[in-house]
Amino acid sequence: MHEASIAQSILEIAINECLKAEGSRIDRIRVEIGIMNSVNAESLLFAFNAAKINTIAEDAELDIIEKPVGGYCKGCKKRFISKELFILNCPICGGQDFVIDQGRELNIIELEVSGETEGSKKYT
């Protein structure tokens, strides 16, 4: 299952970052996932909740922010956001000269840790 390996890598990165920040416990992990990754948020949450047991992230909440597909159209020089997974035409002008630059994200954007140094760290 695709989501299980993603959950595992989110956990590994978060634990590494937490230790680097001299934290001893992870309270919250916020991730940004572009819809083009075809990740099922519910499955990811389920996999994460299973993987976090017996780690310093055992009590951590996973917040999943799904990012829609977005891009920039060279035809009408505007940015657009779409709920569609595949975009064939610019939703604004219908042109085909555009670049997709959003929707492939798979990042940890915020980590809340407790321990020596409390507080949250933003990655954006």
Handedness of CA 63, 33, 26, 53 (dihedral sign): positive
Is 93 an interacting residue with respect to Zn ion (CB under 5 A)? yes
Q: What angle do CA 43, 124, 61 make, to 5 degrees?
A: 35
Q: Which stretch binds Zn ion (CB under 5 A): 9-17, 33-41, 44-52, 84-92?
A: 84-92
Q: Which stretch binds Zn ion (CB under 5 A): 12-20, 51-59, 94-102, 111-119?
A: 94-102
Is 10 an interacting residue with respect to Zn ion (CB under 5 A)? no
Is 71 an interacting residue with respect to Zn ion (CB under 5 A)? no
Cβ contacts of 25 within 8 Å, gap of 6 or more:
18, 56, 57, 59, 113, 114, 115
Is 90 an interacting residue with respect to Zn ion (CB under 5 A)? yes
- Chain residues in the site for Zn ion (CB under 5 A): 73, 75-76, 90, 92-93, 95
